[in-house]
Amino acid sequence: MASCCLIGDVDSAAAFALAGVPGVTPDGAAGAKEAFRASLAAPGILMLIITEGYALDLKEEITKHRQAGAQPMIIEIPENLSGEFTGHSLMDAIRSAVGISV
């Protein structure tokens, strides 16, 4: 069964859990790298959502993954308290990141 998962802050993980999306809230950059590698290796994961704080820690790995054109698709979203979060809906953030309506 195809699915998606989240690597993000506690608030984002709680929100996504309400929608049935499993999430990981790693401790620091090392934990984020470990969670990222585990998510890439997990079977059936087609979409990996990463909040911006962790995406910054994983920038090099995300770039390599995208250049390889491999699955899962990686979507970066703003954290709810970031300067990038302007009060628009999560669906608007995903639509902006992906370019399609999900």
Task: Considering only residues 92 and 30, tell me which one the structure prediction assigns the higher pLDDT.
Answer: 30
- The string of pLDDT tens digits covering residues 45-78 is 999 999 999 999 999 999 999 999 989 999 998 8
Mean pLDDT for 6-13 is 92
Angle between helices 28-41 and 59-68 (to 10 degrees): 20
Taken in order of first residue, the domains within the chain and their CATH numbers are 3-98 (3.40.50.10580)
0.95 cut: is pTM over it? no
